[in-house]
């Protein structure tokens, strides 16, 4: 009998519903494995997707079963408090933004939760995360647009992933990969029916000013 391998979780434990804290614990172990080179970027992305699809502990634990940090209690405790937003204890786990024949906007300095649901029906929803405080490293946004629009703006130094369906509409996610393994990871899913969902980094003011200057210079050149 190989005593170095952890014993499989009992059926009762495996059937326990996973909490946000459980998902964050697994995601932290996967993040460290990526930083150490134990997982490549593709493997990390696949497992992170599994983390946020998992409903029970039995679905979570296999995602780290081949990693040495899986049973390292000290390491788990060190990862438990996210270094990117230590002041966010008690932040809400979910947020809902609904624009029905109207508009819903969330912008400025705010505490982004672990999950955001955005629904636009004959209306619009704007989610601006460029100044947000991330309470968890992983943020999932579920966007639904029906004859409306959902516009998502994220900082330039985060990882942005996602994909959805557009039915007589458009669903666009401009994927980005941060060089920092501890950077926030934002995933976007959902669908657009005769509407649009767009997620992309928001350019800083100096980038916008540069583009404006280049456009003005070209306009003057063509004028001559």
Nearest one of 128, 124, 146 to 190, comparing CA atoms: 146
Are residue 164 and residue 197 in the same domain, yes or no? yes
Instruction: For residue 62, give its domain range.
Output: 11-80
What does each of the 224 residues of the chain score in pLDDT, given as a tens digit? Answer: 343 344 444 454 566 777 777 777 888 888 888 878 888 888 888 888 888 888 888 888 888 888 886 555 434 433 433 334 444 445 566 889 999 999 999 988 888 888 999 999 999 999 999 888 888 889 999 999 999 999 999 988 888 988 888 888 899 988 888 877 888 899 999 999 999 999 988 765 444 454 455 566 666 666 65
Please, what is the Cα angle at 110 between 109 and 115, to 5 degrees? 145
CB atoms within 10 A of CB 171: 24
User: Strand, coil or helix: what is 84?
Assistant: coil
Are residue 175 and residue 98 in the same domain, yes or no? yes
CB atoms within 10 A of CB 16: 13
Instruction: Give me the pLDDT at residue 81, please.
Output: 35
Instruction: Give me the pLDDT at residue 216, please.
Output: 64
Are residue 164 and residue 124 in the same domain, yes or no? yes
Are residue 53 and residue 136 in the same domain, yes or no? no
Residue given tokens 């929803």 in the structure block:
125
Are residue 117 and residue 148 in the same domain, yes or no? yes
Name the burial class of residue 120, with classes exposed (0-12), middle (13-18) and buried (19+) by CB atoms within 10 angstroms of its CB.
buried
Are residue 24 and residue 58 in the same domain, yes or no? yes
What are the tokens at 92?
A: 């809400």
Instruction: Give me the pLDDT at residue 72, please.
Output: 56
Does residue 219 belong to any structural domain of this protein? no
Are residue 76 and residue 150 in the same domain, yes or no? no
Residue 61 DSSP label: G
Instruction: Give me the pLDDT at residue 42, please.
Output: 84
Count of structural domains, the chain? 2
Regarding beta strands 170-173 and 159-162, do their DSSP bridges make them parallel or antiparallel, or are they unpaired?
A: unpaired
**How far apart are alpha carbons 155 and 180 in whole angstroms?**
13
**How far apart are alpha carbons 121 and 98 in whole angstroms?**
8
Instruction: Give me the pLDDT at residue 6, please.
Output: 42
């Amino acid at each position: 009998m190989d005593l170095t391998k952890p014993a499989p979780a009992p059926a009762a434990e495996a059937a326990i519903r996973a909490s946000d804290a459980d998902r964050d614990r697994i995601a932290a172990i996967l993040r460290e494995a990526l930083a150490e080179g134990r997982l490549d970027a593709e493997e990390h992305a696949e497992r992170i997707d599994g983390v946020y699809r998992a409903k029970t502990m039995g679905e979570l634990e296999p995602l780290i079963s081949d990693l040495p940090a899986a049973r390292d209690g000290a390491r788990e405790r060190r990862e438990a408090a996210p270094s990117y937003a230590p002041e966010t204890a008690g932040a809400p786990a979910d947020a809902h933004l609904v624009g029905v024949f109207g508009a819903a906007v969330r912008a400025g300095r705010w505490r982004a939760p672990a999950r955001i649901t955005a629904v636009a029906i004959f209306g619009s929803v704007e989610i601006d995360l460029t100044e947000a405080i991330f309470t968890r490293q992983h943020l999932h946004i579920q966007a639904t647009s029906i004859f409306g629009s959902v516009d998502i703006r994220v900082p330039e130094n985060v990882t942005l992933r996602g994909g959805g369906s557009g039915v007589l509409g458009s669903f666009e996610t401009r994927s980005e990969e941060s060089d920092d393994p501890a950077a926030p990871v934002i995933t976007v899913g959902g669908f657009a029916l005769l509407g649009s969902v767009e997620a992309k980094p928001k350019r800083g003011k100096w980038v916008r000013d540069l583009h404006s200057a280049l456009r003005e210079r070209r306009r003057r050149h063509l004028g001559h």
